[in-house]
Amino acid sequence: MRSDSCLLRRRYPAGDRGSIISEFTVFVVPFLILMAMFIVFCGRAASVSIDAHAVAAAAARAAADAPTPGAARTAATRAAAAMASGSRFTCTATTDTGQFRRGGSVTVRAACVLPMAELGIPSIGGTKTAHATATEPIDIYRAINQ
C-alpha cells in the first residue's frame, strides 16, 4: 500500500513548482505597468482641460473688472500667466472686448499647452492643448473709461 504523498509526487512533479509565479511576472506585470501609465496619461489630459477652464474663468473675471478695453486685455493676460505660473503647462488668453460697456460682457478664450514627453511613456510625445472659453458680465453700476 502506497502513501498519499507518493501519489501526490507522481501527479505533480517537483519541476513545475513556482511556474505560475514566473508566468504571472512575465505576462501580467507588464500589462499592469501599461495600465498605470495609461491612467496617468488620462489624468494629465483631464487635468489640463480642467485647468484651462479655470484659467479662462479667472482671466474673464479680471478683464471684467478692468476700466478700459486695453486694460481688460492686459488684466486677462496677466491672470492667465499667474494661474499657470506654478504648473507644468503654459496658457495664453485671447480677450474679446467687443461688448465692453456697462451691462455688456467680456469673453476670454484660453489655450493651455501641456508637454506630454515628460510622462516617460514610449511613443507618446508632443503636447496636449486644451481650449476653454469664459464670458463674464460687466457691472451696470460702474464707470467705464472708453
Dump pLDDT digits (tens) for 89-114.
Answer: 888 899 999 998 888 999 999 999 88
Q: What is the mean pLDDT of residues 23-41?
A: 83
Helix axes 29-64, 69-84, angle to 10 degrees: 150
CB atoms within 10 A of CB 138: 20
- 31 — pLDDT class (breaks 50, 70, 90): confident
| Mean pLDDT of all residues belonging to the chain | 82
The predicted pLDDT at position 15 comes to 61
Given a cut of 70, is residue 77 above it in pLDDT?
yes
- 129 — pLDDT class (breaks 50, 70, 90): confident
Q: What is the 3-state secondary structure (H, E, C) of 53-65?
A: HHHHHHHHHHHHC
How far apart are alpha carbons 72 and 60 in whole angstroms? 9
Residue 135 pairs in a beta bridge with 107
Higher-pLDDT residue of 60 and 37 is 60
Residue pair 35/105 in contact (Cβ under 8 Å)? The answer is no
Its pTM stands at 0.72
For 34, the grid coordinates are 501599461
Task: Give the residue from 69, 56, 59 showing the smallest Cα distance to 104.
Answer: 69
The predicted pLDDT at position 54 comes to 92
